[in-house]
Structures are given as C-alpha cells and as structure tokens.
Amino acid sequence: MRAPSGISGLSPTCRSLIVVSESQLDLGSAGFVQASANRSSVMLSLLDWPKTTGQIAEACGLSLAHASRAVRELSGYRLVELATPDLAGRGRLYALTADGRSLADSLDWNPRVRSPMVRSTHPKAWYEALVAKIGESQTMKLMRDLDLVDAIESPSGRWILLRNQIKLLEEVERRFGDGSYRLVEELATNSVQYYPSVRRYLFRALPWRVILEIGGSAYLREFNHGRVEVEIHGSEALAKHFDWLSSPARCAAWLGSWKGLIRLRRLEGTVEKQDCMLEGDDFCGYRLAWQEGLGSLRKKNGLTGDRGR
C-alpha cells in the first residue's frame, strides 16, 4: 500500500500513530488529522484544556514552528479555534471547536498515544533520591523488578507510561515505608533537585511569584496530559492539579514536590493538601504559604551536593 504524501519521511514511531490507508484519507477531516503525526498530537494535546502554541509545542515535543503550522492547518478545517480572540500577541489560547472535540473523541487513536505519559526524568530523579536513602543495591533491585532500568539509562526526553511511575511510588511505600506515605513524600522532596525542567525555571533570576505563574509550562515539559493551575494571593498560592490518574502515593509525591520547590528556593514556608480527586474533588489542591525575604536564590551551579538540609 502506498503511503500518503508527507508520511513516508516520518520515523517508524510516528508512523505507528497514524492510519495510512488510502480509503481513510477520503474521510475528510478524520483522514486529514490522522495523515499527520503533528496534527494528531496537537488534537490530543487540546483534549483536556486550551493551550498557547508554546504550550502545545511543549506537550507534543514539537518545535514552535511545527506546532504553529499544525494549529493553522487544523484551524483551516475548523477543528481548532482561537479561544482568546480579544488577546493580541503572546499568550493567546487555542482550543478544539465543537466539531474538533467530537472528532477527537470518536477517532480510534493508538492506545499508547492516548495513554498518560511522563518523561523518563521521573524515574531518573527518583533513582538518585532512592540511592541516597536506601543505597544503590536495593535501588537497582527495585528498578529491575519494575522494568525501569532502561528508563533510567535512556535519554531524559524519552516518554514512559505514567502508570509505571505510579507503580514505582506505590512499590517504594510497600517495600520501605510504613503505609503512611511519609517516605514517598520525603523522597519526592529530595528528588525535585534532579529534574532538568525544575532547574530550568526555578533558578532563573525571577521572583518566586513569577516562577509559580509559569509553573504550568514546566508541567507540560514533563507530562503529555493534564494541567496545573496556580492561583496566587499575596504570600499564599493554591496549586490545582488536574491529573488524569491519581493514587495515594502520587498525592504524597506532589505534596513532597511542592515542599521541595520551596526548600530549593531557600524560602520559609508550608504546604498542605486541601483537595483530592480521590475524595471526589475536581482537582488535587495544594495550599502553599511562604515568607518572602527570609531566603535567597542559590548561586548558579551551587546545588551540587547540597540537599538543603
């Protein structure tokens, strides 16, 4: 069967995401979307929430130019629309139209593409925190038992299934914790420093409030699903996590991660869990409170060997 124009040059991975039969290319909008891995990725990225072209690029692993082109093409088919028409310049949000959402919900997507995934930076960061806590021998045994050795040895940009990372968190608590998930929280606090996206944003010469406001971009670099919204009021903030999957261990990990972020900024503060999707809430909410001026931003490259204790 002849591959449609524009598909033959794609990698085998990209080809697995799309349907290439000529009969399906005659199905109008459906064929148009599935004939391009980029357009397919953009459609999926907009299923949960409107995004800027920059956020779409982050979520899909595309260059800004390729993401912008895919948005324009989908807009031409009236599948995507500008959700903030009154906003000029940067920050404009794009969303699926009613027809676009109906189409995205009806397409038979490759299950791997539709599954929530995370970057391999997550098991890598947890590997470092675990080695410091329980030693390399026990850590490697855990990684082998969970088939995560390839993930921790792979490039940081690789995607892995979210459920594998959640399984790691749950297994850590089962083997080494006491059932309270305090160990997961502690390890999450210590693992934060090993995430490249955290270092990229956290150690910029920007006020803490600004860092929190752009935190959603860091989230999109690490996850292909969900979103984080941060509402800031003075020296407090509410971080709302709209995750596709959750568990007691993941909730504890997010709590520890927010504590780790405050600690890395050398701020005096607290974090409390106040909303939970597992208890029927619309999101998992974490209340942050801090005091400005009591800490200082670390010097460039001054984090090595310092866990903030």
Please tell me whether residues 259 and 144 are part of one structural domain.
Answer: yes
Please tell me whether residues 191 and 276 are part of one structural domain.
Answer: yes
Please tell me whether residues 261 and 226 are part of one structural domain.
Answer: yes
Please tell me whether residues 92 and 125 are part of one structural domain.
Answer: no
Residue type, 254: W
Phi, psi of 274 (to 5 degrees): -125, -15
Query: What is the reported pLDDT for 284?
Result: 94
Q: What does the alpha-carbon distance between residue 156 and residue 87 come to, in Å, rounded to a whole number?
A: 35
3-state secondary structure of 301: coil
3-state secondary structure of 83: coil
Predicted confidence band at 113 (pLDDT cuts at 50, 70, 90)? low
Q: Is the pLDDT of residue 308 over 60?
A: no
Domain of 267, in residue numbers: 118-291
CA angle centred on 84, ends 81 and 85, rounded to 5°: 80
Please tell me whether residues 218 and 272 are part of one structural domain.
Answer: yes
Q: What does the alpha-carbon distance between residue 57 and residue 109 come to, in Å, rounded to a whole number?
A: 20
Neighbour tally for 198: CB within 10 Å: 22
197-201: average pLDDT: 83
Q: Is the pLDDT of residue 295 over 50?
A: no
Q: Per the structure, how many domains does the chain have? A: 2
Please tell me whether residues 72 and 166 are part of one structural domain.
Answer: no
User: Please, are residues 183 and 173 in contact by the beta-carbon 8 Å criterion?
Assistant: yes
- Provide, for the chain, the percentages of residues in helix, strand and coil under a 3-state DSSP scheme, each rounded to the nearest 5: 50, 15, 35
Query: What is the reported pLDDT for 1?
Result: 35
Q: Is residue 308 domain-resident?
A: no
Q: Could you say which of 87, 113, 139 is where a domain stops?
A: 113
Query: What is the reported pLDDT for 201?
Result: 81
Q: Could you say which of 96, 113, 130 is where a domain stops?
A: 113
Please tell me whether residues 185 and 134 are part of one structural domain.
Answer: yes
CATH number of the structural domain spanning residue 265? 3.90.1520.10
Residue carrying structure tokens 């038992």: 145
Please tell me whether residues 129 and 109 are part of one structural domain.
Answer: no
3-state secondary structure of 307: coil
Please tell me whether residues 143 and 97 are part of one structural domain.
Answer: no
Rounded alpha-carbon distances, angstroms, from residue 190 to 94, 185, 307: 36, 9, 7
Which helix (H) or strand (E) segment holds residue 197: the answer is helix 196-202
CATH number of the structural domain spanning residue 17? 1.10.10.10
Please tell me whether residues 198 and 258 are part of one structural domain.
Answer: yes
Which of 35-44, 140-149, 217-226 has the highest average model confidence (pLDDT)? 140-149
Q: What does the alpha-carbon distance between residue 136 and residue 138 come to, in Å, rounded to a whole number?
A: 6
Residues 6+ apart with CB under 8 A from 35: 4, 6, 7, 18, 20, 25
12-17: average pLDDT: 40
Paired with 239 in beta bridges are 230, 286
